[in-house]
Structure 1
Amino acid sequence: MKSEQNNKNAETLTALQELIEVVAKLRDPDGGCPWDLVQTPQSLTQYVIEEAYEVVDAIKSEDKSHIAEELGDLLLQVVLQAQIFQEYGDFSLKEVVEGISQKLIRRHPHVFGDVSVQNADEVNQNWEQIKAAEKGETPSNNQLTEKLSGYTRKLPPLTATMKISRKAAAAGFEWEDIDGVWEKFHEELQEFEQALASETPERQEAELGDLLFTIVQIARWKNLDPSEALQGTNRRFIRRLKIMESVADRPLSDYSLPDLEILWQKAKAILSS
């Protein structure tokens, strides 16, 4: 069994080496691809994000070949970024791979060392402690806010809000029960309505943000994923529109609002049948 695994590992390394060589050729000033040659780490960031989302979407589809394809596209972004930084003389894919391997070893002392853990929660606690030590962090009055600020810089807004909410709750900034969250929701909804009626666009946007933040708190209390919930709504909305287009005898823009509502209800009925 071990010999078989070693053979598979060797085949994987051979395939990875081929990808590295292909990317290097694409970036070769002598005969490379004009598009690849003008790319920079900054210009490629949008593709890193897009490919990551496409991997997630493929995993949800449970189509194995599609998952493998999208993982390949994401891996390409890693190899291409490393290739460009190697050309700059900064680091190569070697440093990237060595770095993540050493990080995994350091942060899993219960696997690679003599530390004992009882469950996944203890693994997470050790991970956070080791991560803080690696960064030279020590407890301080603003350590929590520094971490929360990092979420706002690095994560999509809904994901960042959920992270901020969980960390703040763990630090004691929490309602006693969900009734308090609902009270806050109705308070923020009223303030948003008032802002829409009589305040500036800046205040309206601020109150909308407060309302959305509170909705995420409700989701956290109910163990719901707000990002997944919104994605699901987006998908359902598109599916309904597609059915409306399929049963319509002219462009949807030619229909009156009451007629569109009739088509919308037909689409809902078809999807629920």
Structure 2
Amino acid sequence: MYLAPTPSPILHALQELIDVVAHLRDPAQGCPWDLAQTPESLTPYVIEEAYEVVDAIRQNDVEAIAEELGDLLLQVVLQSQIAQEAQQFTLGDVATGITNKLIRRHPHVFADGEADTPEAVRQQWDAIKAEEQGETNSTLLSKKLGRYARTLPPLMAGLKIGEKASASGLDWPNISGAWEKFYEELAEFQEALLKGDVNQQQSELGDLLFAVINLARWCHLHPVTALQDSYGRFIRRLEVIEGAIAQPLEQYSLEELDNFWQQAKAQLRQTDPNA
């Protein structure tokens, strides 16, 4: 006697989510907010939810990680539901596409390829990806870098562009060149500020930030992580100050606030030297 396999609890949960999202998008009984959404209107939420996943992981908060991954999954399902309504693709197409991609780009696992180190795997992945995208040795570097500038957050794009340019020979022979470029861009930014041309100031500020990113690359430091850590230190010190004062910040003089700041730094360093 044939017994049908018991449905997987995971697949059941996913189907329930898919059904709920479809109901929210039902023209007759759905939610006005969900019905008003488009792929374009939802893009800020995709970015926001992805960053909230990263934050939860950095905090090592297991419950928050699960919750934020759910929020990110919702964006995938909702985008797929909207596309299905427009007869473009379905969530099944999305899942099939990434499954096939994983198989293609892991020939050392699913075929007869060879890659026995993480670096070898990364190089193999990049080579297969370039081939799939029609890139060859003759593909212009500017075309490759343009994709990073369009698709990655600015700081990450700057790091990736610097890495790829360096791999093609567009780099200084040592870190001294990166330092010289930094001071050159700093001077040009200061000069632009004196001239009062906003467009030039914006341009020189961008050059200065790119120079800082390249310095970070030479020092094997990640600019995104460094900036996030800096934000965290600033906020922790502010929390200490606000917990110790009796009045709003704006009621203290700059000198008093500076004293509070130095005290907060000293207090935090007793428990965390990096604070």
- What's the TM-score, normalizing by structure 2? 0.92
Residues 69-80 of structure 1 aligned to structure 2 (within 5 Å): 69-80=67-78
The CA deviation string for residues 152-210 of structure 1, in whole angstroms up to 9 with x for no partner, is 11111111000000000011111111122112222222222222223512222222211
Match of 2:104 in 1: 106
Deviation above 4 Å: which 4+ runs of structure 1? none
How far residue 136 of structure 1 moved from its aligned partner, in angstroms, is: 2.4
- The corresponding residue for 2:23 is 25
Where 1:158 maps in the other structure, the secondary structure is: helix
| Alignment pair present for 1:225 and 2:236 | no
- Specify the alignment match of 2:32 in structure 1: 34
2:179 & 2:129 partners in 1: Cα distance? 36
What fraction of aligned residue pairs are identical, expressed as a percent?
A: 57
Structure 1: segments with no counterpart, 5+ residues: 1-5
Aligned residues: 266
Which deviates more from structure 2 when the two are superposed, residues 19-28 or residues 120-129? Answer: 120-129
Alpha-carbon distance between aligned partners in 1 of 2:153 and 2:189, rounded to the nearest angstrom:
23
**1:125, CA displacement in angstroms?**
2.1
1:122 aligns with 2:120: yes
Separation of aligned partners in 2, 1:108 and 1:141: 24
**Aligned with residue 176 of structure 1, among 173, 178, 185:** 173
The corresponding residue for 2:208 is 211
Question: Equivalent residue of 2:10, what SS?
Answer: helix
Cα deviation, 1:20-59, whole Å, max 9, x if unaligned, reads 1111111112222221111111111111000000000000
Deviation at 1:112, TM superposition (A): 0.6
The structural deviation recorded for 1:139 is 2.8
**Post-superposition shift, 1:70?**
0.6
Unaligned runs of 5+ in 2: 271-275
CA offsets, 1:102-141, max 9 Å, x none? 1111111111110112322222222122112222233325
- Please tell me the residue identity of whatever aligns with 1:19: L
| Cα deviation 1:59-100 (Å, max 9, x = unaligned) | 011111111111111001000110111011111101000000
Distance 2:103 2:151 in 1: 25
TM-score calculated relative to the size of structure 1: 0.93
Distance in structure 2 (CA, Å) of the matches to 1:112 and 1:35: 44
| Cα distance in structure 1, aligned partners of 2:204 and 2:130 | 35
Alignment RMSD (CA, Å): 1.6
Equivalent residue letter for 1:108: H
